[in-house]
Structure 1
Amino acid sequence: MDFFSQYLVLHVFSYPVNYESVKNWKNITISLPGYDIKEILDQITTLDIISVSVENIKKNNESEWFDHHDEPLKMHGDTHDIKLLVNENQSSRHIVQKFTEILNLDKIPIFKEETLPDQDWLQKTQTKFNIINISNKLRIVPPWKKVKEYNGLNIIINPGSGFGTGSHPTTRLCLRWIEENDIKNKSLIDYGSGSGILAIAATLYGAKMVMGAEIDEKAIKNAVQNCRFNNLDVPFMNLNKTIINEKFDILIANILSKTLIQLKPTFKSLATKKIILCGLLDRQVSTIIDTYSDFVNLKLKYNLKGWNLLEGEL
């Protein structure tokens, strides 16, 4: 699984998977010449699929997210296919029909399916996730990894439905901010908490009151589990059921730019001292700064591989 497909598995899709109960899987490959692949991927988050990857048609391999200059790649339907990984028992035509409806296409696109052989999917999945060094004093460790003595902080994260294993640049940027800034005895909300990794890190770095907020129930369960791995008890609010009325010294949100724009009024009501926004490509930074300019002066704090973290003082 390449970096791009891992990002989409953990950031976009949350279809529940029992790897031990599923014997066979299949790939559905969809051809969409003339379409912007990235725009399509932003729209298909409601499909019941396990993961999505993008395949370079000419090279016949999965595409990377960045080119050799660490710039985000442009992926077009003329050069790339979309591959959906699903349970073999699911109807390919039904999934592609849903795909067609979501994108409002005139007709069902050309697709093909390929059944994948029986294997130990749990073990295969675990081999994709290794210890991730964020800095020389901070690393992310899957719960099944045996670790040697380490002169730093281990955060144990079980990759699940929630985004945030530490592999994606935006998660790294947020963790860097938490590590490098004084958050001791400050209250903090991790909005769009995913795996809970940022809320966990903030707690371990001394924040006095930390809360996670999320709309995905499966991600919340994953976050609660990760807290237990780290011997912590952080509250995670389901935003579909709860209205948050508290105020926080710091709000941190690692979310896609469109959602950050929509959430501006909410963030304005929650944060009292600092707002940290991440999940932005280079081309999206100025739009977010302008959108938030009526109440906070956001400035570029960090950049990594085409992704950016903005910081604002209130």
Structure 2
Amino acid sequence: MFELSLLCPEDKVETLCDALDALDALSVSVEDADAQTDAEQALFGEPGMPPPKEGWQRSRVLALFGTEPDARDASRLLELQDFFGGCKLLGIAPVADQDWVRLTQSQFVPVSITPEFWIVPTWHEPPAQARQIIRLDPGLAFGTGTHPTTRMCLRWIARHGTQGQRVLDYGCGSGILAIGAARFGAAQIDAVDIDPAAVQSTLDNAKANDVELNAGLPDKAHGQYQTVLANILATPLKVLAPLLCAHVAPGGSLVLAGILERQAGELTAAYAPHGRLEVSDTEDGWVLMTAQF
């Protein structure tokens, strides 16, 4: 493969990326051309939401092509376009062959939730101290155990247990929280998500972990549960406040994640008409909020 490298201003990033897609680039990525210098810029949005801008003031656009002639043809065609004004060809270089499967796997190692509870990819042996494990590989749906919000939810499950409970995992993603609830004794588990791919991922991961649960779209959730888990984001959690609280049985627990520390006050206010929401765990700028009913 060959990498075509281009320099362009922020207002040309989207147009240039679209053009590269039309020229059959295998992949297109955008980097800060001033990264690792004093001119480096932060470009971020709320996790799970699109960034506020398409690129940086000086963006490096990288496109992969299968052959060198393909990359050179693409560069020549781009240089002839009116929109290429202000852009610059930085070069074309071969990309060394990689064992991409092995490289990807090397980035995912067993994750400790507690000293005895671990998330373990299928290509790793469980650590000797692991007494409870979830087998989970990276996939299309959110939730591999590496994100602080997932770890905090699983820690809560491990500390409080779900023995004999009816549990709801709302916004289940990969199904990791539902499987965690099963590992700690849940008697019945409903896992729901608006994304059919997440529902299928949950079913596949449950089967791989020998866990029985019900998975489906949100209308699959019905009645009340002793534990309701929702690891989403602050904005949808605020909208869902009446619905989620209605699903919590008397004496039950509501466990919410996907919340930044600065958003805790907003969530407390949104849930105040239904219950008293409190911060019960923090990690890397994220909080876990819970309420007892």
TM-score between the two structures when normalised by the length of structure 1: 0.66
Within a 5 Å distance, the mapping from 1:36-185 to structure 2 comes to: 55=32, 57-59=34-36, 119-147=98-126, 149-185=128-164
| In structure 2, C-alpha distance between the alignment counterparts of 1:85 and 1:256, rounded to whole Å | 32
- Are 1:257 and 2:229 matched, yes or no? no
Post-superposition offset of 1:266: 1.8
Pair 1:32–1:250, CA change in 2 (3 A):
farther
- Are 1:282 and 2:261 matched, yes or no? yes
Pair 1:24–1:56, CA change in 2 (3 A):
closer
Q: What's the C-alpha RMSD, in Å, of the aligned pairs? A: 4.0
Post-superposition offset of 1:183: 2.0
Pair 1:198–1:31, CA change in 2 (3 A):
farther
Structure 2: gaps (5+ residues): 12-25, 45-50, 67-82
| In structure 1, C-alpha distance between the alignment counterparts of 2:96 and 2:281, rounded to whole Å | 43
Within a 5 Å distance, the mapping from 1:180-195 to structure 2 comes to: 180-195=159-174
Which amino acid is 1:186 matched to?
A: Q
- C-alpha offsets along residues 240-277 of structure 1, whole Å, 9 cap, x if unaligned? xx353222111111111111112123213222222111
Post-superposition offset of 1:75: 9.5
Post-superposition offset of 1:124: 2.2
Which structure's CA Rg is the greater one? Answer: 2
| In structure 2, C-alpha distance between the alignment counterparts of 1:305 and 1:268, rounded to whole Å | 27
Structure 1 window deviating more from structure 2 (120-129 vs 79-88): it is 79-88
Pair 1:215–1:206, CA change in 2 (3 A):
same
SS at structure 2 position matched to 1:297? coil
- C-alpha offsets along residues 171-218 of structure 1, whole Å, 9 cap, x if unaligned? 111011001113211111011111111100101101111111112222
| In structure 2, C-alpha distance between the alignment counterparts of 1:152 and 1:64, rounded to whole Å | 41
Which amino acid is 1:124 matched to?
A: L
Post-superposition offset of 1:147: 3.4
Which amino acid is 1:153 matched to?
A: Q
Post-superposition offset of 1:81: 5.8
Which amino acid is 1:157 matched to?
A: L
| In structure 1, C-alpha distance between the alignment counterparts of 2:116 and 2:33, rounded to whole Å | 38
- C-alpha offsets along residues 46-67 of structure 1, whole Å, 9 cap, x if unaligned? xxx99988758331799899xx
| In structure 2, C-alpha distance between the alignment counterparts of 1:271 and 1:85, rounded to whole Å | 49
Within a 5 Å distance, the mapping from 1:198-213 to structure 2 comes to: 198-213=177-192
- Are 1:298 and 2:277 matched, yes or no? yes
Structure 1 window deviating more from structure 2 (226-235 vs 142-151): it is 142-151
Which amino acid is 1:260 matched to?
A: L
* 2:196 corresponding residue in structure 1: 217
| In structure 1, C-alpha distance between the alignment counterparts of 2:232 and 2:169, rounded to whole Å | 11
Which amino acid is 1:249 matched to?
A: Q
Pair 1:124–1:206, CA change in 2 (3 A):
same
Pair 1:25–1:128, CA change in 2 (3 A):
farther
Percent identity, aligned pairs only, is 27
Task: Choose from 214, 226, 231 the match for 2:210.
Answer: 231
| In structure 1, C-alpha distance between the alignment counterparts of 2:257 and 2:125, rounded to whole Å | 31
Which amino acid is 2:234 matched to?
A: S
Structure 1: gaps (5+ residues): 1-22, 34-48, 66-73, 89-106
Pair 1:87–1:260, CA change in 2 (3 A):
farther
- Contact kept in structure 1, 2:176 and 2:202, CA below 8 Å: yes
| In structure 1, C-alpha distance between the alignment counterparts of 2:183 and 2:101, rounded to whole Å | 29
Corresponding pairs, count:
248
Pair 1:27–1:286, CA change in 2 (3 A):
farther
- C-alpha offsets along residues 106-132 of structure 1, whole Å, 9 cap, x if unaligned? x99x98998966543323222211111
* 1:39 corresponding residue in structure 2: none
- Contact kept in structure 2, 1:160 and 1:219, CA below 8 Å: no
Structure 1 window deviating more from structure 2 (290-299 vs 126-135): it is 126-135
- Contact kept in structure 1, 2:10 and 2:57, CA below 8 Å: no
